[in-house]
A and B are shown apart, each in its own frame.
Chain A
Amino acid sequence: MTGLLILAAYVAIFVASFLIVKYAVKTARRDFTSLKTVTFGDESAVKSNRIASVVSILTIFLIWASFTGSAWVPSFLHVPGPFQGIATFDYTAEADDGTTDDATVTVLVHPVGEDPEPPQVAPGEGWAKNDSDVVASWRSGLIRVDQNDEKSRDEGHRVIAVNGEPIAPGGEVITEYGRVGMSPKGTLNFEPAKGLQMESIWLPPPEAVVARVVEIARDGYRDSTLWEHLGYSLFRVIAGFLFGALVGIPLGYAMGLSDWFRGWFDPIVEFMRPVPPLALIPLVIIWAGIGETGKIILLFLAALWIMAIAARSGVSGVRISKVHAAYSLGASKWQILRHVIIPNSLPDIFTGARVAMGVCWGTVVAAELVAAEKGAGMMIMVASKFQLTDIVLMGIILIGIIGFGIDMLMRWAERVLVPWKGKG
């Protein structure tokens, strides 16, 4: 229900901001593309709209903040929250002797985590006495209204109506403060109105996540600082990737240059390539345990095949005329490897390295989810066991940022180190 509402709000903002930008904001393109009359179907004329990107990110934060009652956005942007405060409803009780009497139930609905006293209420007239109780928001509570009444269950005390509406075991009455249900045994159950906001154990507001980041950055989590957790994950990725590249690249070159190597390793590489590294986690844990060695072996295997295949295709991608030209200029085999084949394969190797780093980063988080003492994945796994959703979210966001950062760094290195990519 809330999910559909979020989707509707999202679509509404998408359409509304599109229309606003289209008709209200002048986004004049300065270059010649503004003169193109055919843009639908011309991929090169489609440029990512900056405004759309900014609005898109803001929308996610807005929806997040508004559905969690965040303090970061003014309260008129919040969707209705759960009811809090004093809720009341009346009940009508009947006893075996045929008499009926009314009384009022006063419930203090308090925020989760507090433990207040029930409000004081006067007992009131008649044999049914007024009751009071406490219930936390988003929870529900059984209210034994007969306990303080003069006629007990032994005398046939039963509730027959709430706020004047008849109620029977298994039934319910919706009041302005929430739902009053009746259990099969006849006990009233009050469930204060939940509103549309998410409870923070499901989705904490953004400021709670930020506060967690600050707190964990300062105090650490599970005996390690935040930087140790992230640093360990990064260290494993880099170590595994480096070993993988160190073995995979020469292996790929050998496969690209020698019949024997290609024949020998082709079946192995082609078999290992489609095996997802995640499927190797159990085996690696059996063989090497959950320590650093096991993780680095796993990431080594994840990077190895990708790098070997990248290097192999880098070698086979060299134009034969370049090799011929080099031979005709008097180069030896080693010189051709060093000055022609290796530089020519670098663009492919960089592409492979980017893929491998992405796969390694995903694999390390997964491996840490399974078993680890430190690491980004371990952090979110342990936190999830304690329903610490804010730490889980924090972890996911940090993992995303680092993964993105790694990719940007690789792209930058590629631009600087192999400027001739795609220009051969």
Chain B
Amino acid sequence: MSGLSIEHLSMRFDLPNGSSVQALQDVNLSLAQGELLSVLGPSGCGKTTLLNIVAGFLAPTEGQIVLNGHKVTGPDAERGMVFQQGALFEWMSVRENVSFGPRMKGQKESQYGANVDHLLEIVGLKDFKEKAIYELSGGMQQRVALARCLANDPDVILMDEPLGALDALTREKMQSLVLKLWKETGKTIILITHSVEEALLLGERLLVMAPRPGRIHKEYALPFADLGVNADLREVKKHPEFAQRREEILGMIWDMEEEIMGRSEADA
């Protein structure tokens, strides 16, 4: 049983004032080893909640996560996480950040050193090893976060809007980097994004979620990730199917957002 499966997952936040929010309702999903799933959905539809449950930071009210045959009960090195920003340790150098996982396992420099240097080279930070985190730009910091996650060699990588804080150009470069690393390492990846283009470009599979309660609205299987591994991403975007899918999904999310707005206006 290799792979990740999300079974009948429901999450309800009971608030101290007695009210409650149904963030997720009966979410079912299974991912084979090495699949890249991108998740889209309007704001507040439960994407971060889903990821936090998979990471083990939250226990669901119902259902379970099973990874490689065992149930997820808490955070673990087998599931790495890349945050949007601010999760690096600014009291450590770039290299100390990247080697954090192996060092916590008690590995010696001789065991992890070569791999860490290799990863730093892949993400293009070879010359910044000894720099402090706060001396790097936002894009460089996200590359450190990626390298740190990979250095720990997890089975699954969870990314919550990892490129959300970057400018368009840096973002495009990072998208290629993610695709490249995905292909090279064969990791299972769940990537949350707000950008429909990014979801289409990177996702082998794409999940569109709907809000209130958070649930799976539609799933797509896409060819673009495989195309993008060997080609310029801008070429991929010119693919006729790409434009068609983009319009379709944009319209879908737009409608959901409209509905939420309308509903909350009616509530008020």
Contact = CB atoms under 8 A, between A and B. Distances in A.
A329 B76 CA distance: 7
Contact of B134 (A321, A339, A340, A423): A423
Contacts of A324: 55, 57, 75, 81, 83, 87
Interface in B114-146: 132-134
Nearest to A335: B104
A322 interface: yes
B90 A424 contact: yes
Contacts of B88: 322, 325
- A-B complex: 8 closest residue pairs judged by Cβ atoms: A330-B77, A327-B75, A423-B134, A343-B91, A329-B101, A321-B87, A420-B90, A325-B87
A332 interface: yes
A331 B87 contact: no
B132 A419 contact: yes
Nearest to A418: B91
29 contacts: A319-B86, A321-B83, A322-B87, A322-B88, A324-B87, A325-B87, A325-B88, A326-B89, A326-B100, A327-B75, A328-B75, A328-B154, A329-B149, A329-B152, A330-B76, A330-B77, A330-B152, A331-B100, A339-B89, A339-B104, A340-B89, A344-B91, A418-B91, A419-B132, A420-B91, A420-B132, A420-B134, A423-B133, A424-B86
B80 interface: yes
Greatest chain A CB density within 10 A among B56, B74, B88, B91 is at B91
A11 B104 CA distance: 64
B215 interface: no
A321 B86 contact: yes
B140 to A, nearest CB: 15
A348 to B, nearest CB: 13
Interface string A394-424: 0000000000000000000000001110011
A330 B104 contact: yes
Main secondary structure on chain B at its contact with chain A?
Answer: loop
A328 B89 contact: no
Contacts of A424: 86, 90, 134
A330 B89 contact: no
Interface in A291-332: 319, 321-322, 324-332
Interface in B10-49: none
A329 B132 contact: no
Interface residues of A, number: 23
B187 interface: no
Greatest chain B CB density within 10 A among A325, A340, A418 is at A325
Greatest chain A CB density within 10 A among B80, B104, B133, B154 is at B104
Nearest to B55: A328
A421 to B, nearest CB: 9
A424 B100 CA distance: 17
Contacts of A319: 86-87
A343 B89 CA distance: 9
Contacts of A321: 83, 86-87
A328 B104 contact: no
A271 B86 CA distance: 35
Nearest to A423: B134
A344 B133 CA distance: 14
Contacts of B56: 327
A364 B52 CA distance: 52
Nearest to B160: A321
B95 interface: no
A365 to B, nearest CB: 36
Interface in B60-115: 74-77, 79-81, 83, 86-91, 100-101, 104-105
A300 B226 CA distance: 66
Given A321-B83, A324-B57, A329 B104 contact: yes
Contacts of B105: 330
B104 A331 contact: yes
Contacts of A330: 76-77, 101, 104-105, 152
A329 B91 contact: no
B148 interface: yes
A418 B89 CA distance: 13
Contacts of A322: 86-89
Contacts of B148: 325, 329
Contacts of B101: 329-330
Greatest chain A CB density within 10 A among B56, B77, B90, B148 is at B90
A325 B56 CA distance: 11
